[in-house]
Amino acid sequence: NAVFRGKPSHEDQELVLADLAYQSGFSMVSHPSISDQELRHNEGKRFLFAQIWARLTLSHADKMALENAARLEAVTADEFATVN
């Protein structure tokens, strides 16, 4: 909420961007057997995140930290899905 109410911390911003990267599937590859519709959907999500990412004015180190946070979120989400 802090990100959208005008008082986000750096951690809040990182969390939102990492979640967007994960939810968009930005660093993932679609399986060749998916339908054309699913592929277009996945690529649309990736494109949207890429547009946001391209407009960020972050240092290379900050972008790398966000990429690592997104990977960690993906691993954590996969582990959670496996348990539940």
Residue 6 tokens read as 């005008």
26's CB contacts (< 8 A; 6+ apart) are: 45, 46, 49, 50, 53, 70
Look at residue 78 in the predicted model and tell me its pLDDT: 63
What value does the mean pLDDT take over residues 28-44? 93
Q: State the pTM of this model.
A: 0.70
Q: Which amino acid type is present at position 6?
A: G
Percent of the chain with pLDDT over 70: 89
Nearest Cα neighbor of 27 from 75, 82, 60 is 75
Query: What percentage of the chain exceeds 90 in pLDDT?
Result: 25
**pLDDT attached to residue 69:** 79
Nearest to 68 by CA among 14, 2, 11: 14
